[in-house]
Every structure is written in C-alpha cells, then in structure tokens.
Amino acid sequence: MADKHVSLDDLWNSAPLSRQVLEPARLLHLPNAARKYLEHAIAPGTRFASAVRLQMHGDIKLKGWASFSAEEVIRWDRGMVWRATVRLHGIVIRGGDSFMDGSGAMRWKLLGLLPVVNASGPDITRSAAGRVNIESIWLPSVLCGDDVSWSSSDICHCHATFAAHTEMAEIDYKIDENGRLEAVSMPRWGNPGGAEFQYTNCGGFVDAEGSFGGFTIPTRMRVGWYFGTPRFEPEGEFFRVTIDEAAYR
C-alpha cells in the first residue's frame, strides 16, 4: 500500500508552496454564512496552504475510552497520514490511518510489534477519503477553491459540495454570529458498531478554537457517528481531540 512508503516528514516536506494569498474580494460572491466562516477562518493576506501538520492528543473509543497522542499531515493533493500512540489499560498500541494517492489503510501494532489491525480495501479507502474531506476544517484554504460550491439556509448554516479524494463531499457547517465554527458534519462511508458499510452522518462539536499562521481552526472537538441524532453521545462518539500545534505550508 502507498502509506507504507510515505512518512509524515516526506509528505510534509514535499508539499508545494503557494504564492496565492487571501484577498477579501475573493469571498464576496459567497453566501453570507460561508463568507463569514471563511473570513473568520483565514486572516486577510494569509498565504494559501496546501498542507497542514498537526500535533494532537485526546481520547479515542475502542472497547472503552483510551488516551492517545498523535501527529497528522494533511496534504490536500495526496491525502493524509495520521500516526498515533494509544494507551489502553497500560498497554501501548501504535499505528494509524491513512489515505494516500487513492488508497486507504488502517494499521495498528501492539507494543509497536504485533499486528492487531491491518485493514485496507475499497470500504476502508472510501471511509478514509471522507475523513480527509471533513478535516478540511483544519486546512480551510482548500475551501476557497473554485471547485467548491457553497449554499446557505440561513445566517448560521452553510453547506459545501466538492469532489475530492475519490469521494463527493457534502459538508454542513454551523457557525455563530462572528463566523466561529460550532459544528460540522457530513455523510461518511463507514460501519459504526461493526454494521454493514453505508453512509452515516459523521461530525463533531467544536468546543474551542485557536489561531496558527493566519488560520483559525478548531482546537478541541468531540467527534462521532450518528451526528445530529440522540444516538451520537451514547453510541456514536468515538474521538475527543485537542490540537496542540498546527503548522502550514
């Protein structure tokens, strides 16, 4: 699989640099809610980024909640690599998820040696592609592209449609009166609870934000399946994350 051959450093260091910067006039044609969100997320004059490198920690739900620390690189033209160390009942599990050049994979090893998850194939790829697309909230410059179609139902809700990473993304955003992102969700291919793979609403609440290099992004989130339904908290929530650092190029 492609992910075996691409390290975080290689993916990050090879990301192309853009000369384009955000000019306010670029967003004037958008629906009000979409414009407010992007104006809040990207400071005027900020150079557009093709990649983001994130340091994070939090809790992930396996059979129970376990703490993790992780690093991730999202390079929009290729995908993402996420590498994590999970501590469950004193046991260390290392591995991660990836979507790289059209292929998705999940690979985890007990103590970094004994394989416990080694999954790939069409369903894993579709789910990983959806993850990359919704994580555009951490690389908001890609949402300014001409290939993104925006609509809005009111001043606090907007919707982006775009094709990327072999999937069609249909992402809903909820913002406050200042453009701060409060929640994000989309139909994502997956099999929550071990059910058959299908599109299920996946999303998260934004509990905090921070600014890095001209970009203002969510820095604390609660993420899961069945977003927007009563099943989210008891069944769907599987990821609580805090972003510690973000770098752009």
> What pLDDT does residue 87 have?
94
What's the rounded Cα separation, in Å, for the pair 174 and 186? 12
The pTM assigned to this predicted structure is 0.95
CA distances (Å), 124 to each of 11, 103, 105, 121, 227, in order? 21, 8, 6, 6, 20
Q: What is the CATH number of domain 2-248?
A: 2.50.20
> What pLDDT does residue 77 have?
97
Longest dimension (CA), the chain: 54
What's the rounded Cα separation, in Å, for the pair 43 and 40? 7
- The mean pLDDT values, 10 residues at a time, for the chain of 249 residues are 70 94 93 98 97 98 93 98 94 94 94 76 98 98 96 96 97 98 98 95 98 98 98 97 98
Give the domain ranges of the chain.
2-248
CA distances (Å), 178 to each of 21, 24, 156, 173, 213, in order? 22, 16, 9, 13, 20
> What pLDDT does residue 5 have?
65
Of 226, 224, 225, 227, residue with least CA distance to 240: 224
